[in-house]
């Protein structure tokens, strides 16, 4: 677990640096320099491409994690593996492109009434889908190599910096809004080229048309697994992104600007989950390759408790400062309508973190078909529930549907893993964290309110963080976390005996 904690910390630091930039973009620059419908259009284009990319990859990203340890043994098999993935990816996108064009009129008609502007950017969505498709496969390949830091830097920091530069350039009149949208796509392309250059520098990208070095039976298994996991991957993205698309189609682009801004405010709490999962997934794949269930159980439990601790603190931090955050935003009167979206989505995301890397375990096990069936079913439920809830409760209805899907999804995965693999992520430490979180929220109620918003955020956050962290440390809810902290204190000359 030392590798998981170390790399997770590095990737988490990068992710939070990106989150800070993202917060500046979405909570200040975009509301200040763009109209709500322009923000909604940009977010709809991005989310549509993110939603479509898994359909074009046909489950290949998951296959990279599962089959890299099995197929790659030397330079020859490595070249064959990356060539095979590239060939399958291009074939998948070609099939997807043809299908999209055949049904383009029907797909775009969904936005005809309330978000007509998205129709003229259909080709931009397709180009961005292709870029994100290739990027996701190369990121999965990098994580299989246990090289996560640079890909994370590109995705979390560089892309968002480029967006900040572009929106400022638009505001200054150097580019038009249309050029801003095209520039956004070019920004993603630039980061993809940097990722290719990075892997080439590591001498991890080489191509061959000779697949004889790869085991034929494993290639067949990879293709079958990709085809099956395609539905599961698509279902997961549907659960996470279809709400944004449906808000645009049902309520319009300005409503989607409010919804996606609030949604992003809540997703800051799941950054540690993404970082830890990126590190844990290849380790889980290798443990399954060795049939080491004890190691998988250790990763499962330790990742879950560490995610829950960090996620709880972050959700508390967002909740206690929510009014302050909205008061600092340009056009506060428009965007503060998303307050309940932040809270509802935050609870859903924290639940997802509480259950640990359950999806990764199922996907990489011999029971991966269950995840596919479950995700496909839940995706249908989300679409139906959103069609019911959004017209009644507006953007809060979309948040309810998304959070409910996450809670049900994780509960079902929990019982399945417990039944099939005889392991589960919870212990007494989980209860300790829950009690500490509840106490910390209660403690916030007695803190005085300062007139200066920045001072209030700073003091409130510092006090709550100190209280929460001390209680976690002395409760020994995460021995690994305590050990890591003590080692870092020793490094900087603040050594002391372990508790």
Query: pTM for the complete prediction?
Result: 0.78
- Using DSSP's 3-state secondary structure scheme, residue 211 falls into coil
Return the pLDDT at 498: 44
Return the pLDDT at 267: 85
Residue 304 tokens read as 């879950």
Domain boundaries, the chain: 2-426
The values of phi and psi at residue 348, to 5°, are -65, -45
Low-confidence ranges of the chain (pLDDT < 50): 1, 496-499
Q: Is the dihedral angle over the CA atoms 99, 102, 106, 109 positive or is it negative?
A: positive
Cα(326)–Cα(333) distance, integer angstroms = 9
- Contact present, 341 and 395 (Cβ < 8 Å): yes
Tallying the residues shown for the chain, one arrives at: 499
Cα(8)–Cα(5) distance, integer angstroms = 5
> By C-alpha distance, which of 416, 175, 423 is closest to 302?
423
Which DSSP symbol is given to 495?
Answer: -
Return the pLDDT at 378: 79
Cα(382)–Cα(341) distance, integer angstroms = 16
> By C-alpha distance, which of 71, 67, 191 is closest to 134?
191
Identify the residue whose tokens are 């067949």: 220
Which DSSP symbol is given to 25?
Answer: I
> 145-175 burial, b for 16+ CB within 10 Å, e for fewer?
eebbebbbbbbbbbbbebbbebbeebeeeeb
Return the pLDDT at 210: 62
Return the pLDDT at 499: 44
- Contact present, 449 and 456 (Cβ < 8 Å): yes
Q: What is the dihedral of CA 262, 472, 278, 96, to 10 degrees?
A: -30
Return the pLDDT at 445: 87
CA of residue 172 relative to chain centroid, distance: 32
Return the pLDDT at 193: 95
């Amino acid at each position: 677990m030392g590798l998981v904690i170390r790399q997770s910390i590095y990737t988490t630091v990068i992710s939070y640096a990106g989150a800070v930039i993202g917060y500046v973009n979405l909570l200040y620059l975009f509301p200040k320099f763009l109209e709500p419908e322009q923000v909604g259009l940009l977010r709809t284009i991005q989310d549509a491409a993110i939603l479509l990319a898994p359909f074009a990859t046909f489950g290949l990203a998951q296959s990279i994690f599962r089959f890299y340890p099995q197929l790659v043994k030397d330079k020859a098999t490595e070249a064959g593996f990356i060539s095979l993935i590239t060939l399958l990816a291009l074939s998948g996108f070609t099939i997807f492109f043809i299908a999209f064009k055949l049904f383009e009129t029907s797909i775009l008609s969904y936005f005809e009434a309330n978000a007509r502007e998205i129709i003229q950017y259909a080709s931009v969505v397709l180009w961005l889908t292709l870029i994100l498709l290739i990027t996701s496969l190369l990121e999965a390949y990098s994580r299989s190599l246990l090289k996560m830091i640079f890909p994370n830097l590109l995705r979390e920091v560089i892309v968002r910096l480029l967006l900040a530069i572009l929106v400022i350039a638009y505001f200054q009149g150097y580019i038009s809004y249309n050029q801003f949208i095209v520039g956004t796509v070019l920004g993603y392309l630039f980061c993809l080229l940097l990722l290719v250059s990075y892997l080439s520098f590591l001498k991890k990208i080489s191509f061959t048309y000779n697949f004889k070095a790869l085991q034929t039976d494993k290639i067949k298994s990879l293709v079958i697994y990709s085809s099956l996991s395609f539905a599961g991957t698509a279902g997961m993205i549907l659960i996470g992104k279809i709400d944004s698309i449906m808000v645009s189609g049902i309520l319009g682009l300005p409503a989607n600007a409010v919804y996606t801004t609030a949604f992003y405010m809540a997703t800051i709490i799941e950054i540690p989950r993404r970082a830890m999962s990126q590190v844990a997934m290849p380790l889980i794949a290798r443990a399954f390759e060795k049939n080491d269930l004890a190691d998988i159980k250790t990763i499962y439990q330790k990742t879950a408790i560490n995610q829950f601790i960090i996620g709880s603190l972050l959700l508390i931090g967002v909740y206690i400062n929510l009014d302050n955050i909205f008061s600092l935003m340009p056009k506060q009167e428009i965007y503060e309508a998303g307050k309940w979206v932040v809270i509802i989505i935050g609870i859903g995301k924290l639940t997802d973190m509480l259950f640990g890397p359950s999806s990764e375990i199922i996907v990489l096990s011999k029971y991966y078909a269950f995840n596919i069936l479950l995700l496909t079913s839940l995706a249908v439920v989300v679409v139906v529930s959103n069609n019911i809830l959004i017209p009644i409760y507006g953007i809060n209805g979309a948040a309810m549907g998304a959070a409910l899907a996450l809670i049900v999804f994780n509960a079902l995965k929990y019982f399945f893993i417990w039944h099939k693999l005889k392991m589960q992520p919870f212990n007494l430490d989980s209860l300790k964290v829950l009690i500490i979180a509840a106490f910390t929220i209660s403690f916030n109620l007695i803190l005085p309110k300062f007139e200066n918003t920045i001072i209030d955020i700073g003091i409130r956050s510092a006090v709550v963080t100190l209280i929460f962290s001390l209680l976690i440390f002395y409760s020994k809810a995460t021995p690994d976390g305590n050990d890591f902290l003590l080692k870092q204190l020793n490094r900087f000359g603040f050594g002391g005996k372990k508790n």
